[in-house]
Structure 1
Amino acid sequence: MDDQGFRRWLERTGDAPNTVNTRFAMLRRIEKHYGDLDLAHSDDLCESILTELSYSTSDARRGEPNPSRIPIEGDVTSNLASYRTHLRKYLAYLDQRETADLIAEEVEADAGPAQRFRYEQDLEAALSRSLEQIEPGLTLVEQQRSLPSGLLDVLARDARGGLVAIELKAVTAKREVLGQIAAYMADLQDETGTLPRGLIVAPEFDTKLISGARLIAGLGLLRYRFAFTFEPVE
């Protein structure tokens, strides 16, 4: 686990010191029983761990045993839900770290097309002012919405009143973004009781992401283009 980078990221995103310590304690316990989380992320984006940490209220009613390798005393449902929340937070950090690395590589190489936004904050600001171009009736609820899994770029509401979670990428969106947006959608469902729609906005999409997106209900992909306009100065 990237201890130093994750700690700095948590502090920048506003986690209180006691919350940071709790996250590390939970994640280290996961690593004790499952091994290094960075390696698990490289293998399968930690999906196998998340699966083992899944335990529903229906499982509890049926008296199903704890499916994870982590010994738990007490309420299995709430304990495993807490482990999942902290693991998803770390996965959100890994996704954003990878995006930052990609942006740095593109800036250094200066290889992208001229019309591409270089930084996600530029895209976020432009998109928030132009939500109607994405979908008629789409309105802004909040930028940088704090959720258990991380910071959602844009939370919007559609013409029918439904929430739309929007994740923005300044470079080609890789398959790892699917885990990021799915976690945000799950967080919002836990918060509101209703599954929101999801939308990934990027200049290009990895083919694996496109294939995987078909399996996530309510998720859409939107490719953006940016065009310059010119006018004489009088």
Structure 2
Amino acid sequence: MTENEFKKWMAGEGLALSSISTRISDLRRVERHFGDLDTAYDKDGCATIFEKLSYTAADQTAGKPNPSGIEIEGSLYEGLSGYKSSLAAYVRFRNSETEGSDTGILTRAAVLAAIRECKELGTGTFLNKHKFRRPRTYWIAENETFYPCKAIANVALRAVEGADTQIRDATRSRELISRLGFRVVDSLDERLDPAEFERLKQRFLSKFSDFERLGFGASEGGYFDEERGYKDALLEKDRRRWKIVPCPNKN
């Protein structure tokens, strides 16, 4: 932990000396338990530590055990919330060194974690789970897949700052996500990158070299042999079984 610079940053943020001392004390204890905070920040934005410090009032009511392993006297919820708040301040400080203080504690690692969740659940389920609507604008383009920008930004931020945190403005979420190095497209129409489309087209044609000459409706050639022929045979079998008369070709 770069303690002296962090103290200067907190003083510049207007924190009282007592609050600065409390945060330094909290983070020293967190660091003794989890290791160097700067190493943790460089690894995943301290996301792993935040996860270990996450504990809700409902968890306390349910009698759930301490997830952090740090010995705490008194209220487990209040103690872990204090450590988490101090760690959030340190991450904001580290972010401010390169990204500007208004970025908050949103980190690339937290965004990638939210993207992984969205990929695993599927976009619709992910949006329903976190109570977001499907956006008409702003999608994150990552590994040839697209993810809802505002929902991803909010889920990532909540993971480290708590359930009450919210980025209400879609444009603001786009700005923050873009600052972290992600490509964000402005509309659904932009999701199909012309260059990417051309690459996929050439990949298809390299596999079915006679497709441009023969076309989709051909009854021969590489595409017909591999992709269409057996499907036509199955359809014809079902037509005969159910005595379905195919529609005449108007062309």
Q: TM-score, normalised by structure 2?
A: 0.46
- Structure of greater Rg: 2
Report which of the two has the higher share of helix: 2
Q: TM-score, normalised by structure 1?
A: 0.49
